[in-house]
Amino acid sequence: MVAARALENVIHEISPDDIWFLGDAVGKGPQSDETCDWVREHCRHFIGGNWDYGIADKAFPADEYFWNQLGPERMQWLSALPSEAELMLSGIRFRLFHGRPVTDLLQSDSDKALLEAVFHTERGDFGGAIFADSHRPFFRTLSGGYLINTGSVGNSMGIPNAHAVLLEGTPGEEKKPLFCTVICVPYDNEAAADIARRDPGLPRKEAYIREVLTGIYSR
């Protein structure tokens, strides 16, 4: 929630028309209940992520801490989240998904064929795809479309700031200019780590703290 408050300050400044949540409201940190509630209150569109489904469906016994913290109503909401959505903006049909479990883990340097495959589905071809799973914001142009990663608000890899993506364009099929901005917000990483240190039951605590402070994946 420390990072969420940092991003909330930016959202206040830019006043977006819509806020899309692309998965993983829960897991890892000690404030999953508060983060889940923040997402539900502030976002208008929701996509489920691998942590959301894994915890909500009680897939891994090690996550009992999160089951107890979230409670049945939140977990039911998480379990029912759709896995994909689409958005037509400035004439570009965007496919929106979290990443896993819809695809393999995608990184900016993943095999080009693996990255370009996300533009082609049974529902037709897309001119862009927006996802979040790898926790590293990036923008790539590939054969067939634009590939955009939003990064992560509270658990970014590489650079441990709060990250999100702002898209500015015209709704609909008419081809118009499109602007894509990566939002990068420094926040109090040490405060976030200290909240985790003071929680005696948090699973995989040291790995989470290292990620928050350094941006180095620690699982």
CB 55 within 8 A of CB 70: yes
> Does 9 fall in a domain?
yes
Residue 219 neighbours by CB under 8 Å, 6+ apart: 204, 207
CA pair distance 188, 213, nearest whole angstrom: 9
> Does 219 fall in a domain?
no
Residue 177 lies in domain:
2-214
Q: Domain tally for the chain?
A: 1
> pTM of this prediction?
0.95
- SS3 category, 30: coil
What pLDDT sits at residue 9? 74
> Which CATH number fits the domain that encloses residue 106?
3.60.21.10
Q: Per-residue confidence of the chain (219 residues) as pLDDT tens digits?
A: 777 777 777 777 788 999 999 999 999 999 999 999 999 999 999 999 999 999 999 999 999 999 999 999 999 999 999 999 999 999 999 999 999 999 999 999 999 999 999 999 999 999 999 999 999 999 999 999 999 999 999 899 999 999 999 999 999 999 999 999 999 999 999 999 999 999 999 999 999 999 999 999 998
> Does 189 fall in a domain?
yes
What pLDDT sits at residue 15? 83
* CB-count burial class (<10 Å; 0-12, 13-18, 19+) for 31: buried
